[in-house]
Structure 1
Amino acid sequence: MPEQIQRKLLIIDGNSLLNRAFYALPPLTNRDGEHTNAIYGFLTMLFKALEEVKPDHAAVAFDLKAPTFRHDTYTDYKAGRKKMPMELAEQIEPLKEILDAMGLYRIQMEGFEADDLIGTLARMAESDGMTVAIVSGDRDVLQLVTEQTQVMITKKGITQMDVYDPGRFTEEYGIPVERFIDLKGLMGDSSDNIPGIPGVGPKTATKLLQEFGTIENLLEQAETISNKKLREKVDGHRQEAVLSKKLATIITNIPIEVKMDELKLGELSNPEVAALFRRFEFNSLLERISAPADFKSEKTADKHLWPEMTTIEALQELDRQVQQHQEITWHTLTDTNAEGWPSPVAAAVTIDGNTGWWLDCRNGKYMALAREWIEKWLGDPSILKKVHDLKLEKRAWRTVHIPFNGAPFDVMIADYLINPSKASYDLEALALHYDGQKVVTAKELWGTGLKRKKQTELDMEAMVAYLVQRTALIHRLTPELKSQLQELEMLSLYESVEMPLAFVLAEMESEGIELDAALLKEFEITYAKRIDDLIKQVHEAAGTEFNLNSTKQLGEVLFVRLNMPPVKKTKTGYSTDVAVLEKLKNEHAIIPLILEYRQMTKIKSTYIDGLLAIVNAGTGRIHSTFHQTVAATGRISSADPNLQNIPVRTEMGRQLRRVFVAREGWQLIDADYSQIELRIMAHLSGDPGFIKAFKEEADIHTRTAAEIFQVSEENVTGEMRSSAKAVNFGIIYGISDFGLSNNLNISRQQARLYIDDYLQRYASVKTYMDEMVTQARDKGYVTTLLHRIRYIPEINSKNFNLRSFGERMAMNTPIQGSAADIIKVAMVRVADELKKGNYQARLILQVHDELIVEAPPEEVEPVSLLLRQAMEEAADLSVPLKVDLSVATNWFDAK
């Protein structure tokens, strides 16, 4: 006879795990402001238990609010417990909804606690020949451990569990598991308000049980207890001991009308579960319930549905459909070529999402055959192209000299506008979020590290399946995303700003900026020498040599050898981070040297060594990647290198800009918005004082200083102006008196006076800030001038720090986000005007509120006018936008 498979039942202690998760994880909310940390933690532990136990049956038990038989027995049972926090209470019903959608058996019963239901189910399963695993954060359930039932107690947050069987229990507690309720009876339990015998703790209780076995035996033989005080305690609290044991005992024979077949575990994944996970933004958990990615999905096995473009007849048929529908869904598999550019490896196209064609771009014969048709489809601006990552598509096809024109629909950018705080907008993330499905990843297709395949090693069938999955997904998502953009009133922002901007950024990446390699090498020598000098000076100041890069050694030098006051300690020793060193700046001459050393080594490794390593051998230029879908505010960021972070606060940092130069004989035109965020604040708040100052082209910081310090503008000192500037920009970012006091090195009281006086004099600014906070609380989000949305779930948090952070975001986002919108509009206009005017000049760089155009000498004057006009007319505000413009052969001089 075949061996019978042992059936397993997993029982989850619902309230216990939910409570554990709530306190183990930081506050989390979805964009609608619903608290989710307890649900997320619970589900994480549930999936972990399912993986470890591999049960075929499962149940989740919950407590109800109604009193139980224990309350009837002892009116003070669980008295004094703190009320459940509202943020936790509101997560109970949504969790139950998810569990029900997953098809997990859920049980709760008036008059009994979850522990009693767990115990009863465990004993029923044992009688049915099953093994049982109970998961809980409460050690009370350890009394249910048997040879057939193990208990898993969560520890250290939500990632680890202690597993108990009878042997493990006895080893840890020194008594058999059958005596656990006697132990509770003697010790009591303060969390449940079970009295026990006063003064009897774990050690004493364990010794008594090792000697007498049970509470009953102990009470019968109390006179034999050798310790007089202990004997008197036991004798004087007999009733409490018996009552406590009764209260601690889990009932295991509740008449539950349930059959084990009802607890059978089914398929946890279904559209309802996926929809709930999307609602709560559990993107990582979506992967757990999604079917594994399959190279053979999307009907790729049927060669008739997605044939290869290898014949004129196939190309003609596709062209007929393209001309009929005037739209295609297009997706390209790319690789980096020898020159460092993205280039096409293969591509797929569909009209209806169910059938389509694919092309192996590595095959010269088929590529030559299809080139004319591809140029026709991709180059025709009247044909709508549905894509993912337009910028990459444009750059890849540019590599093989095929234009990518028109007004496409990019699902990546659409998802970014709809969900601006997501960690990823790749197709894998979109598939999980919208479809609840997995698609094959690029890593799975190519492999990674030393095992990464070459183009010639790619499996043809896997490659086609990869392309088809993604192309079909883009087609499916387009109407849904477009509908959401329309509903959120962001379709205009998408079509007029973000999509044309993707084309502009693609051109900027291709153009790059020239680097003066010789000057950079001079900097390398200068920095290396200065760093060596600093190391020597630090060692001299310390009176000993040590490793400056070792936090431990530096901490010992500063706080032990030099006896400086420790500011902050960590688990591993003294903290020596920048904040700590800044506070110690005036304590010893060594501190400024260490700060300079850190800054110099960071600049050298990141920018000097880093820039030399990424100069393109073919162009002699660096080609930064501009990210359009990273910052929730709408700001553009850059990488490889991150030009947004070129240091400007120190002279040596600023000098680095000298290495960024115009090509020989050309000029850099640098145009920088003047105080754009303050101008936006003036417009949004409608403050008459601010508007008047900007219209009169006054120095806004001097004007503010005169208002705050109640002096004439002529009498404003440099220090007053600096303070006013800190307040002006601080207000935009919702600065606190603590933050301003640190910035200006003044008392918090003085900082509070500055802020209060400012907001009193510019009352409309205060009103506007309050309105933004109110809007965020009511709607859950704020918007920019162009209606870009940013969700701020933190605004309604009960946690003061989180709520304060949300309030600052509500005040700042409309201003910072509007500044991002405006410079994006300006970039699109500049690029468009340069193209219309047939100029050789090109927009090559964007950093914060600054644009840089590279132009030949004969175009400098007209392009400067064009650039200024495009930027100053990018938005119609109640105050003028002003641009500071300069021209030079390198970025430093242009700035």
Structure 2
Amino acid sequence: MIGVFAQQAERHGFKVIISTGDKDMAQLVNDNIMLENTMTNTRMDSRGVFDKFGVTPEQIVDYLALIGDSADNIPGIPKVGPKTARKWLAQYGTIDNLVASAHEITGKIGDNLRDNLQQLALSKQLATIKCDLELPYSIDDLKQQPMNVAGLKSLLSELGFTSWLKILGNTTATPAAVVSIPVADQQPKDAAETIDIIYETILTEQQLDHWLEQLEQAELFAFDTETTSLIYSKALIVGVSFAVTAGKAAYVPLAHDYPGVPDQLDRTTVLEKLRPLLENPAKAKLGQNLKYDSHVLANHGIHLRGIAHDTMLASYVLNSTATKHNMDDLAKYYLGVDTLHYEDVTGKGAKQIPFQAVSIEQAEPYAAEDADITLRLHQVLGAKLAEIPSLQQLYSSMEIPLIAVLTRIEANGVLVDTAMLAQHSMELASSINALEQQAHDLAGQSFNLGSPKQVQEILYDKQKLPVLKKTPTGQPSTDESVLQELALSYPLPKLLLDHRSLSKLKSTYTDKLPQQINDKTGRIHTSYHQAVAATGRLSSSDPNLQNIPIRSEEGRKIRQAFIAPDGYKIVAADYSQIELRIMAHLSADAGLLKAFNEGLDVHKATAAEVFSVALDQVSNDMRRSAKAINFGLIYGMSAFGLAQQLGLPRNQAQSYIDLYFSRYPGAKQYMDTIREQAKEQGYVETLFGRRLYLPEINSRNAARRQYAERTAINAPMQGTAADIIKRAMLTTDNWLLETQPDAKMIMQVHDELVFECAIDQVESCTVQIRALMASAATLSVPLIVDMGVGNNWDEAH
């Protein structure tokens, strides 16, 4: 139909754009028809087709017929790839000419062609977009007509499209006005209910007292802050908003600053009036990303307690991948409401103004809407969570309590040695310069190692390295995966990878970390994110502590700069091989259970099983291979991937995998079972009920389906590990609060918790931390916690 309408439109004199990333559509391209890939923001005309595929649009069908396409079940000619297809079509022009000259093609590839001539005609038929369909519509029927609102509302109501019905309503809240908008409803109804939106700006003591009475009487109220900065450690309050019933909210401006700004209530006075409510643990509060608001209030000496609900976390627990978990996306997804965005009131780019410079008239509908939408989202998300008790339990007993724990860890911060970082930065600069010189020597000329275009010219035009992958614009790729594969055979790509790695460490850590030190505390305060990683893991930013490499010398030097203050030590507690232990528990494989329960080196034990040797006969290479198999299989690694990692032929890697599964049949059975469960129910679960939905698990696209299958195998293990360390953080934080040792939790990285502990309490703290972490979950194998102590993070690991 796309082909039919494209050609019809062309005949009517239109210039046609087909929005697609599908290579099959390239056969439709001509002077009047082009393709646009909105994912890469690129357009492709006839010249673009040739640049990308090496053939003209008229040759695309023949090209696809020769190379085949497994996703579309086009068989093609065995062993014929793009390079051979381009060569033949350049020489013979068409498949028909190629077939007529098939006897001229020599070698095995010629035999393949001649043996498959019959299916070549079928391949061409399958690759051809049929543009002579007789359709009951013409291009004239597709012209946009004025909207039939009454008919559209009737149809949407009949079909239960309540979100689209809401879009037909008025969803814009006006300052100091009442408008009717549809209420969010997840059930089809004959017509959308409406509520009155009443937003109020509080400028007098009388108004404030009236609202304080409502907040006191409410079982739950939504609370939000507007601030001077997105960086929590620097942010100060510009205003606060709250809501107690859907559609009714208030904004209290406190620090707006612009010419002609009206009188506002005193910030200190208002915050003191709010303090008893905000610090009362029995008074339930609701918010969107309340960890940020907790920090902001703490900057004003108020310690937020009584966090009962957080809509960001409710959405994340309900379905981590259905939508982004910021308020604007949640409002659109669950309520069908287009909210006012931050940029709508502050502007964008260089012209953006701070929130304190926004007029109160503009700030009110934005700020009050935040509290109102949060409350309405809670009503929808709370009902959905209540329908799934396991998720409700996870939300209320793990994610919500963790807000306070992470707030404390972030506030604690970590001390860094700036002199050590400066020294390491100089060393990295020297190493980077040396690598640049080596690369120039290998290339035979100077070039910019950071320029993909120049790297591309050196690797492919000058050194004639094989092109393994192309960019969306048809250029040879220089991305990391390509360079890694090329580095197995060629020295220059290896140098480029080393250069990129060191340059990233220098720019991200040794140069930037000193700039991230807080002026008041003298420490670095990262931000932990609960609602980013799909499997439940925490992530961090500014700085990202999860990405500091531990195996390289350069990475360890960065960790050495994370230091303990005088009189203290860094204590690091790390779960040993936790995901493999979870695999043993989930699969109940006798061999894996035996290895862990007897305290064996599991990689050595695996090597002994796979290579059929005694434990004391396992060589270092055998153990290395077994470790790659152990970790690779829980991440769904294929024989091809294992072969690449170990530098082996693919058939040998496959034999290792086959041997592994023959020795650990429970692991294979678990993987097969979890894949089938995922296909049947559309999701997988951790031991604690966290779900990861897999919408592509039954996809007809093989690559997407296989990725979902690999995720189905790994997510229960990675997600359970994430849940376990969160449980450990909760119990450890509770111990720190109750017993008040001279110690504090300062970092969480992957499967590791890091503490600062007074030197005279290191021994007792180590014993207690190990015991708490080891008891965070009960598995059929022991949870082992490796402890380390040092003057810096590297020493303690």
Quickly name the TM-score band, shorter chain normalised: 0.7 to 0.9
Counterpart of 1:93?
none
Which moves more between the two structures, 471-480 or 817-826?
Answer: 471-480
User: Following the alignment from structure 1 to structure 2, what is the Cα–Cα distance between the partners of residues 719 and 286?
Assistant: 64
CA contact (8 A) 2:224 2:371 kept: yes
* Pairing 1:299–2:148 present: no
List runs of 5+ in structure 1 lacking aligned partners.
1-15, 21-135, 166-246
Separation of aligned partners in 1, 2:752 and 2:154: 46
Structure 1 residues 354, 691: closer, same or farther in 2, change over 3 A? same
1:17-46 Cα offsets, whole Å, 9 max, x none, are: 5xx7xxxxxxxxxxxxxxxxxxxxxxxxxx
CA RMSD of aligned residues (A): 3.6
- In structure 2, which of residues 443, 450, 455 is the aligned counterpart of residue 542 of structure 1? 443
**Alignment correspondent of 2:204:** 310
1:450 is aligned, of 350, 373, 386, to: 350
Letter in 2 for 1:504: V
The SS at the match of 1:453 is: coil
Distance 2:201 2:304 in 1: 24
- Show structure 2 runs of 5+ residues with no match: 34-131, 181-195, 256-262
User: 1:430 is aligned with what amino acid?
Assistant: L
- Residue pair 1:286, 1:433 contacting (<8 A) in 2 also: no
Q: In the TM superposition, what whole-angstrom CA distance separates every residue of 1:648-703 from its partner, at most 9, and x where no partner exists?
A: 23222222111111223322110000000011111111122212221111111111
Determine which of 377, 387, 411 is the counterpart of 1:510: 411
- 1:616 deviates by 2.1
**2:226 matched to 1:333?**
yes
The residue that corresponds to 1:495 in the other structure is 396
The alignment's TM-score, normalised by the length of structure 1, stands at 0.69
Amino acid in the other structure paired with 2:568: W
What letter is aligned with 1:511?
Answer: N
1:378 is aligned to: 278
Counterpart selection for 1:484 from 340, 361, 384: 384
1:396 partner letter: V
Residue 635 of structure 1 aligns with which residue? 537
SS at match of 1:401: coil
- Displacement of 1:755 in angstroms is 1.2
Indicate conservation of the 8 Å contact 1:687/1:765, yes or no. Answer: yes
2:273 paired with 1:349: no
Report the Cα distance in structure 2 between the residues aligned to 1:876 and 1:867, rounded to whole angstroms.
Answer: 16
- Kindly provide the amino acid, as one letter, of the partner of residue 328 in structure 1: F
Inter-partner Cα distance in structure 1 for 2:496 and 2:366: 52
Shift of the alpha carbon at 1:727? Answer: 0.9
Quote how far apart the aligned CAs of 1:276 are. Answer: 8.6
After superposition, give the CA deviation of every residue in 1:211-258 in whole Å (9 maximum; x if it has no partner).
xxxxxxxxxxxxxxxxxxxxxxxxxxxxxxxxxxxx9999999xxxx9
Q: Which of residues 157, 165, 171 is equivalent to 2:20?
A: 157
1:348, distance to aligned residue in structure 2 (A): 1.6
- Alignment match, 2:678: 776
Measured at CA, do residues 511 and 265 of structure 1 come closer, stay the same or move farther in structure 2, by a change above 3 Å? same
Give the SS at the match of 1:846.
strand
Q: Which residue type is aligned with residue 525 of structure 1? A: M
Deviation at 1:609, TM superposition (A): 1.7
Report what 1:729 is aligned to. 631
1: CA distance between counterparts of 2:158 and 2:692? 22
- Deviation string for 1:60-97 (max 9, x for gaps)? xxxxxxxxxxxxxxxxxxxxxxxxxxxxxxxxxxxxxx
CA distance in 1, matches of 2:762, 2:717: 32
CA distance in 2, matches of 1:691, 1:270: 61
Equivalent position amino acid for 2:5 in 1: G
What are the equivalent positions in structure 2 for 1:133-148 lying under 5 Å apart? 137-140=5-8, 145=12
Contact 1:625 1:640 in 2 (8 A): yes
- Give, in angstroms, the shift of residue 629 of structure 1: 0.6
- Name the structure 2 match of 1:610: 512
Contact 2:153–2:165 (CA under 8 A) maintained in structure 1: no
Letter in 2 for 1:738: F
Picking from 464, 469, 473, the partner of 2:373 is 473
Answer yes or no: is 1:717 the counterpart of 2:619. yes
Name the residue aligned to 2:571: 669
Distance in 1 separating the partners of 2:21 and 2:652: 45
Shift of 1:521: 0.6
User: 1-side partners of 2:158 and 2:359: how far apart?
Assistant: 34
User: Structure 2: how far apart are the matches of 1:398 and 1:699?
Assistant: 47
- In the aligned structure 2, how far is the partner of 1:273 from the partner of 1:152? 33
Match of 1:266?
A: 149
Mapping 1:388-537, distance limit 5 Å? 388-422=288-322, 424-489=324-389, 490-537=391-438
Q: Hey, what's the Cα distance between the residues in 1 that align with 2:494 and 2:133?
A: 62
Cα distance in structure 2, aligned partners of 1:274 and 1:861: 68
Alpha-carbon distance change, 659 to 263 in structure 1, aligned in 2, over 3 angstroms? closer
How far off its partner does 1:423 sit? 5.0
- The equivalences for 1:74-153 within 5 A come to 137-140=5-8, 145=12, 153=16
Q: Work out which of the two has the higher radius of gyration on C-alpha atoms and give 1 or 2.
A: 1
* Correspondence for 2:658 among 748, 752, 756: 756
Cα deviation for residue 453 of structure 1 reads 2.2
- How far has the Cα of 1:152 moved from its partner? 6.7
TM-score scaled to structure 2, two decimals? 0.77
- Secondary structure of the 1:795 match is coil
Q: Which amino acid aligns with 2:18?
A: K
Q: Which amino acid aligns with 1:887?
A: V
- Counterparts of 2:210 and 2:725 in 1: how far apart (Å)? 44
Does residue 580 of structure 2 align to residue 580 of structure 1? no
Asked if 2 retains the 8 angstrom alpha-carbon contact of 1:309 and 1:357, the reply is no
Q: Once the 2 structures are TM-superposed, how far is the Cα of residue 504 of structure 1 from its aligned partner?
A: 1.4
Native 8 Å contact 2:197 2:247 kept in 1: no
CA offset at residue 843 of structure 1? 1.3
The answer to whether the 8 Å contact 2:167/2:336 transfers is no
3-state SS of the aligned residue for 1:621? coil
Aligned AA for 2:374? Answer: I
The number of equivalent residue pairs is 669
Residues 306/753 of structure 1: CA separation in 2 closer, same or farther (3 Å cut):
same
SS in 1 for 2:245: coil
2:788 partner SS: strand
1:883 to 760, 768, 785: 785
Cα distance, 1:278 vs structure 2: 8.9
1:886 partner SS: strand
CA 1:411–1:278 in 2, change beyond 3 Å: closer, same or farther?
farther
Alpha-carbon distance in structure 2 between the residues aligned to 1:791 and 1:781: 4
Q: 1:269–1:289: 8 Å Cα contact kept in structure 2?
A: no
Q: For residues 858 and 274 of structure 1, do their structure 2 counterparts lie closer, same or farther at Cα, with a shift above 3 Å needed?
A: farther
CA distance 1:521–1:438, change in 2 (3 Å): same
Are the counterparts in 2 of residues 295 and 466 from structure 1 also a CA contact under 8 Å? no
Structure 1 residues 539 and 841, CA gap change in structure 2 (3 angstroms): same
Alpha-carbon distance between aligned partners in 1 of 2:639 and 2:348, rounded to the nearest angstrom = 50
* Change beyond 3 A, Cα 1:385–1:604: same
Structure 1 residue 463, shift from structure 2 partner: 1.2
Q: CA deviation at 1:767?
A: 1.5
Query: What do residues 758-810 of structure 1 show as CA deviations (whole Å, max 9, x unaligned)?
Result: 11221111111111111111111111111111111111011221111111111
2:233–2:295: 8 Å Cα contact kept in structure 1?
A: no
